[in-house]
Amino acid sequence: MVATSTLKPKSSECVSELADRRYDHGCIDAGLDVWLDCLDETQRTADATEDRTCQQLAKMFENCLSRAKKTTLHCSSVLVPEKLTRRIAREVLRLASCEPCGLRGSVLYVHLELDKGCKQLERIVYDATVVPTFELTLVFKQDGTAWPSLRDFLFMGTCFAPTFRHALKLSPGFRLVKKKLYSSSAGTVIEEC
């Protein structure tokens, strides 16, 4: 017997069919309850695993931005909109869900779109033991509406190099580009969020 989430629990047709075969109604109800409990537990476990993976991925993006702020972005802080990395992680998981190895078969390129073009921040291999089957390019966007603070003007030319910025504010929008590597129907999917 295969139980799926589309099974209608305790449907009158199912119960009446089993009753016609002289099964006890109490036994039928108890058996269906056991299957429903199993389905619920499986769904809860899958949801918890996906949520944990989403949190880990969001943390990877936050760490990437943290490492890049001094080395690549030349700023003292990066202001990230609330839940942006979590939203990105959910989208990445959604795009990876139809791949043979899922997220484990991905290579993630993280970029930041600046006024003068894109700057690569990092290359993340989620699982180095798996041959990549697809690439995802994440492009964070700079918030163009952000005004420089008075502190930025005061610091310019004094104790920091002219290329140093005090804070970089990210936009809530981002772009994900998915490129399949090993497929006869290899294509590119661009998602603007």
pLDDT at residue 165 in the model: 60
DSSP letters spanning 94-124: HHHTTSTTGGGGEEEEEEEEETTEEEEEEEE
pLDDT above 70 for 1: no
| Residue 60 CB-density burial (10 A; 0-12 exposed, 13-18 middle, 19+ buried) | middle
pLDDT band at 64 (very low <50, low <70, confident <90, very high): very high
Give tens-digit pLDDT for 116-140. 888 999 999 989 999 999 999 999 9
Closest CA to 88 of 77, 80, 99: 80
Measure the CA angle with vertex 66, ends 147 and 96; round to 5°. Answer: 105
Rank 30-44, 92-106, 142-156, 161-175 by mean pLDDT and report only the highest.
92-106
Which of 15-24, 87-96, 102-111, 173-182 comes out lowest in average pLDDT?
Answer: 15-24
Q: How far apart are CA 79 and CA 11, in angstroms?
A: 53
In words, the CATH class of domain 32-147+166-192 is alpha beta
Closest CA to 108 of 154, 56, 151: 56
Distance of CA 80 to the CA centre of its chain: 16
pLDDT at residue 13 in the model: 57
Closest CA to 94 of 50, 40, 48, 43: 50
pTM as predicted: 0.65
Helix, strand or coil, per DSSP, at residue 160: strand
pLDDT above 50 for 103: yes
Average pLDDT, the chain: 75
Beta strands in the chain (DSSP E): 75-79, 106-114, 117-125, 134-142, 165-180, 188-192
- Tell which wins on pLDDT, 26 or 15: 26
Q: How far apart are CA 13 and CA 7, in angstroms?
A: 12
pLDDT at residue 150 in the model: 47
What are the residue boundaries of the structural domains of the chain, listed by start?
32-147+166-192
